[in-house]
Amino acid sequence: MIVRRVSIVLLALLPVLLAAVAVAAVLFARQGGFAPYRVPRDSTRTVATDGATLARGEYLVRLGDCAACHTTRGGVAFAGGVPFRTSYGTIFSTNITSDPTHGIGDWSADEFAHAMRHGVSRLGPLFPVFPYEQFATLTDTDIDAIYAWLRTVAPSDSAPPANRLDFPASSRDAMIGWRMLYYRPSIATTAAASTDRGQYLVDGAGHCASCHSARGDRYSLPPEGYLAGGSLPVNGWYAPPLDSESLARFSVAELADYLRAGTSPHGTAYGPMAQVIYGSLSALEASDATAIADYLKRVSPRAPKKSASDGIATASNDSVNGAEVYKRTCADCHGDDGEGKAGRYPPLANSIAATAPDPINAVRLVLYGAMAPTTPGNPRPYSMPPFVQQLTSAEIAAVVNYIRRDATPPSRLTPDEIESMHGIVLE
């Protein structure tokens, strides 16, 4: 009797089970099927190591900013161990020196290309903190050049600390589920087919989308968020959209200069972008900087995503007069009307910090100050002093609300919100 009832229930569930299996099969096929999990460990293919290849590899490693993520502050170059905090725990970057045991010294060229293309190595599926979603678009020649140059890096036997991740992220196999839901290698294939040098650099080595795109669920990068601007995971800085509308105030030449020098008549780089320019983009060849600028100014804008942190619009009832704080504290450098001082202090009118949907960049700048990157094009950058000691939270809220009065939505920050942004993780 019982057996019969169970089998009737199973029979009734069968279509549901079959449907689930079919969906899983489709999703599995869409993330690339079994191919990504077949790591070519036995391949013996070798690559060219002539001077031109090595120089190209070194340049690409600079543009890929591999050192920013694989070298700890003051640590051995490319020895890994840089911590990345996520809402699932902390992931440490790996050692990519030529050490055969702790680095990638005994990897074949194909094994390296496989990790860059598919985000899977002998460790298993890699976490997308490693921007393989972007590196997948690099050509074979460029990946081989990176491999050739990395093999000239002095070996280090340093092993990164073990990742500290919560279940389910603690198992690398959970990444197979993530890939089924969010990873679409076909996007990489389409981008790689582009003959646009600017797009190739932006989507590939430059991995600009990893910061400048609007992320979807669980750190995914849905195509509709491409370069649409968004908040960086965990540290919260807001990276603005990179498209024809947002960058309209720059000419192609001004934008190309900004990318290499970190300064322009329309704003200077700070926070994570200052680091990207210092460590990576300042090495751009002039023609590549122009190609990137030219491409970005052709990207069509996506619909703006409203930020949650500034969404609760209540009428401003600042107890302090923001315009007054501005005049007293900021106008000396930024001008009475936020027009800036050419070549020294950036304008605030129309700046991203003043107009972005998210107020965090403006708040951080006022709390902790900032310095543009030191580059050959801007060897002695001006800096902005921190005001965390000098102004009260009420004054900071009022002055940020004042400079962001034309933002969409206009800022309505309260002193409590400023307090809650004190001590936010600074990298």
Determine how many CB atoms are found less than 10 A away from the CB of residue 187.
Answer: 17
| CA distance linking residue 415 with residue 412, whole number of Å | 10
Distances from the Cα of 274 to the Cα of 58, 268, 375, angstroms: 21, 8, 10
Decide if 134 contacts 204 (C-beta within 8 A): yes
CB of 30 to ligand HEC, least distance (A): 21
Q: In whole angstroms, how close is the CB of 43 to ligand HEC at the nearest point?
A: 15
| Stretch touching ligand HEC by CB under 6 A, among 46-54, 123-131, 182-190, 417-425 | 123-131
Picking from 68, 53, 58, the residue whose alpha carbon sits closest to that of residue 279 is 68
The answer to whether residue 129 forms part of the interface with ligand HEC (CB under 6 A) is yes
**Minimal distance in Å, beta carbon 280 to ligand HEC?**
7
Q: Which of 372, 398, 407, 418 binds ligand HEC (CB under 6 A)?
A: 372
Between 13 and 283, whose beta carbon lies closer to ligand HEC? 283
**Coil, helix or strand at residue 372:** coil
Q: Does 148 bind ligand HEC (CB under 6 A)?
A: no
Instruction: Please choose, from the candidates 113, 72, 74, the residue with its C-alpha nearest in 3D space to the C-alpha of residue 94.
Output: 72
Neighbours of 19 (CB within 10 A): 10
Quick one: which of 221, 348, 367, 421 contacts ligand HEC (CB under 6 A)? 348
Does 283 sit near ligand HEC (CB under 6 A)?
A: no
Instruction: Write out the binding residues for ligand HEC, residues 381-410 only, by CB under 6 A.
Output: 382-385, 387, 399, 403
* Per CB under 6 A, 418 contacts ligand HEC: no
Asked whether position 145 contacts ligand HEC by CB under 6 A, the answer is: no
Q: Is 247 in the site for ligand HEC (CB under 6 A)?
A: yes
Shortest CA distance to 144 belongs to which of 118, 117, 110?
110
299 binds ligand HEC (CB under 6 A): no
Strand partners, 371: 383
- 240 DSSP assignment: P
Per CB under 6 A, contacts with ligand HEC among 6-45 are: none
Among 39, 56, 57, 65, binds ligand HEC (CB under 6 A): 65
Two tokens, residue 318: 């600042």
Residues 359, 407 contacting (CB under 8 angstroms): yes
CB of 327 to ligand HEC, least distance (A): 10
Nearer to ligand HEC, 6 or 144 (CB): 144
On the CB side of 383, CA atoms within 13 Å amount to 13
Q: Which residue is nearest to ligand HEC (CB)?
A: 64
Judged by DSSP in three states, 305 sits in: coil
363 touches ligand HEC (CB under 6 A) = no
Residue showing tokens 């199973």: 10
* 120 lies in the site for ligand HEC, by CB under 6 A: no
Pairing of strands 124-125, 164-165: unpaired
Q: Is 276 in the site for ligand HEC (CB under 6 A)?
A: yes
| Residues numbered 308-337 forming contacts with ligand HEC, rule: CB under 6 A | 329-330, 332-334
Whether the ω angle into residue 265 lies within 30 degrees of 0, i.e. cis, is no
Q: Using CB under 6 A, which of the segments 32-40, 304-312, 354-362, 415-423 binds ligand HEC?
A: 354-362
Please identify which residue in 149, 182, 237, 278 interacts with ligand HEC, judged by CB under 6 A. 237
188 binds ligand HEC per the rule CB under 6 A: no
Q: DSSP readout, 73-102?
A: TTS-TT----EEEETTEEEEPPP-SS-TTT
Residue 246 touches ligand HEC, criterion: CB under 6 A: yes
Q: How far is the CB of 357 from ligand HEC (least distance, A)?
A: 13
Binding residue (CB under 6 A) for ligand HEC from 216, 272, 304, 335: 272
Decide: is 61 part of the binding site for ligand HEC (CB under 6 A): yes
Enclosing H/E stretch for 164: strand 164-165
371 binds ligand HEC (CB under 6 A): yes
Half-sphere exposure for 88 (CA within 13 Å, toward CB): 18
CA distance 139 to 405: 46
- Give 228 or 353: the residue with its C-beta nearer to ligand HEC: 353
Among the listed residues 195, 201, 376, the one whose alpha carbon sits nearest the alpha carbon of residue 290: 201
Among 155, 225, 322, 346, binds ligand HEC (CB under 6 A): 346
Question: Cα–chain-centroid distance for residue 71?
Answer: 17
Q: Binding pattern to ligand HEC, positions 83-112, x when CB under 6 A?
A: -x------x-xx-x-------x--------
